[in-house]
Chain A
Amino acid sequence: MPQQLARLLVVFAVFTGGLVVTRHLLIPKTFGQRGHYRAAAVTTIQVRPLRYAGREACADCHADIVGLHGKGRHQTVSCEVCHGPAAAHTLAPVENQLPAPRKRAYCPLCHGYDPSRPTGFPQIDPVSHNPMKPCITCHNPHQPEPPHVPEECGACHGEIARTKAVSRHALLPCTQCHNTPVQHKVDPRLLHPDKPRNREFCGQCHAKDAPSPREIPRIDLATHGGRYLCWQCHYPHMPEVD
């Protein structure tokens, strides 16, 4: 073998060896086992400690409250929503007591009036609703039945109530147009209030010959609006005039 070829081979061998060693040292052990990543990283993430125990864990000791809570309207609200993460509490119940929010500021996080909330979700105005009183003096958070049937529809339908309050229909009670079963206020999803069904309903006040005060705008039921029902153009809770 010529001398220069042997030298070249040595250089080549050293280079390849160096490459193999460097790769071995630099590439993490589990890299590429399952894909272009360190398989060990998945395990590291998987063994992270839990903070939230899950609602099933609470029933092991607090069966009475969980039973009560499971029947009420807060049944979809997990215990840890209000009481905070409970994994540490399940391991050492005495050392890790869980807080219970008792301040008035807590409940409006969900139940304070906000027009962005879906209508029908129970909302109160924290400024005017029994000011200064903590919510839990009247409502049991584990089974939050209202202490008495809400008088105002606005207790739940805040957005509609507020819109109507500044509209030309402000003085009309909700029951003028909606026959509301008493049961709806106690169990809202069981029975629904009804809605007007025809043009003649609005015509009771707005028709040319309606026996209503003169300042109420009148239309000719026969020609006005053609094939449309009144509320397809006018929003009854905030009637547009033009």
Chain B
Amino acid sequence: MEKPLSDNPGSQEAICDSRRDFLHTCSLAAPLLLLALQAKLVRAFAASEPVYNPREHRYGMGIDVSRCIGCGRCVDACKNENDVPREPFYFRTWVERYVINSGGDTSVDSPNGGISGFPAITSEKGILRTFFVPKLCNQCDDPPCVQVCPVGATFATEDGVVLVDRDYCIGCRYCVQACPYGARFIDPRSRTADKCTFCYHRITRGLLPACVEVCPTGARVFGDIKQRSSPLARFTRFHKIHTLKPHMNTKPKVYYADLDEEVR
């Protein structure tokens, strides 16, 4: 007598059945597996820092000349933060003191960039007006230093900050010559060009540049030009703004409020 097929475990059809069952189960399990994997991926992304997109930003700085007290804390902080040589002559930012006499002649001094303050003015006789002006790289929209670099070692990033590629710079000093603001210097250790980066490593992490962080009177304001609610946008709305050497057509992004005509 012939046995029913299903009773025979070794038969062809029984094997087919169990294989079909197995594949069916697998097809059900697959989406579950994918879901589990996705949840893990989502968690991994949430844990990591939000990715910085330079195209969403355009940075600038405002300087209120009438608030600067010439304490030089910005100069000191800049050297600390960016590892700038401590000797005089090497500055990413510095403070100048302008003294305009009633005769019309102007004298400017900046002893060691103002890093340890300014010597007292002995006599106030004949002084018409006097004030401090902090200076730094103007982060031009049309930077002459980038134009002249023969190797492409200095460049404007997508967020508008002009940077120097230290590993690629050949130290030819064209950019030092080209900068109308005297903002660049050659680092004596690496013999490459160096300058203010708006503390690029800080601003891309959402922090303020070191000089803005330590300015005790709020004379320096940092922010995003693109963002309408940034401190910089407010600063440029409520002050009369002037830039340095506008006739050079460099389109600086450092905006001075209450700037005197004598300041170059």
Taking a contact as CB atoms under 8 Å apart, the answer to whether B117 and A116 are in contact is: no
Total interface residues on A, CB under 8 Å, equals 42
Assess whether A45 is in contact with B167, with CB atoms less than 8 Å apart: no
Closest to A77 in B: B216
Residues of A contacting B202 with CB < 8 Å? 50, 52
Given contacts A114-B120, A117-B69, contact A52 B165 (CB under 8 A): no
CB neighbours (8 Å) of A80 from chain B are 77, 213-214
Interface of B toward A, CB cutoff 8 Å:
52, 54, 66-73, 77, 80-82, 97-99, 116-118, 120-121, 124, 127, 130-132, 152-158, 163, 165-168, 197, 200-202, 204-205, 207-208, 210, 213-214, 216-218
A118, B73: Cβ atoms closer than 8 Å = no
Task: Give the residue among B81, B154, B158, B200 with the most A Cβ atoms within 10 A.
Answer: B81
* Cβ-based interface call for A21 (8 A): no
A31 and B165 CA atoms in complex are apart in Å by 11
8 shortest interchain CB distances as A-B pairs: A37-B155, A41-B165, A48-B201, A77-B216, A116-B130, A110-B71, A81-B214, A36-B152
Q: Determine which of A34, A46, A54, A84 lies in contact with B158 in the assembled complex, contact meaning CB atoms within 8 Å.
A: A34
Given contacts A52-B80, A116-B131, A116-B132, contact A76 B218 (CB under 8 A): yes
Q: Is there contact, CB below 8 Å, between A47 and B69?
A: no
Contacts of A28 in B (CB 8 A): 168
Partner of A44, one of B54, B153, B155, B167: B167
CA distance A37 to B158 in the complex (A): 12
- Inter-chain CA distance A78–B54, complex, in Å, is 28
Return A81 CB to nearest CB of chain B, in Å.
5
Could you tell me the distance between the alpha carbons of A130 and B154 in the complex, rounded to whole angstroms?
Answer: 52
Give every chain A residue within 8 A of B167 (Cβ-Cβ).
Answer: 38, 41, 44
CB–CB B207/A54 < 8 A: yes
Q: How far apart are the CA atoms of A179 and B46 in the complex, in Å?
A: 62
Residue of B nearest to A127 (CB): B120
A120: min CB distance to chain B, Å: 10
Asked if A102 is at the interface of the complex by the 8 Å CB criterion, the answer is no
CB proximity of A190 to chain B, nearest CB, Å: 19
A85 at the interface (CB under 8 A from B): yes
The reply to whether A109 and B116 contact each other, CB–CB distance below 8 Å, is: yes
Residues of chain A with a CB closer than 8 A to B118's CB:
114, 116
Q: Which residues of B sit under 8 angstroms from A203, Cβ to Cβ?
A: none
Q: Is A204 an interface residue (CB 8 A)?
A: no
Q: How far is the CB of A89 from chain B (nearest CB, A)?
A: 13
Bound together, the chains give a CA A204 to CA B35 distance in angstroms of 91
Measured between beta carbons, the chain B residues less than 8 angstroms from A12 are: none
Whether A51 contacts B80 by the Cβ 8 Å rule is yes
Do B80 and A115 have beta carbons less than 8 Å apart? no
Check if B124 sits within 8 Å of A85, measured CB to CB.
no
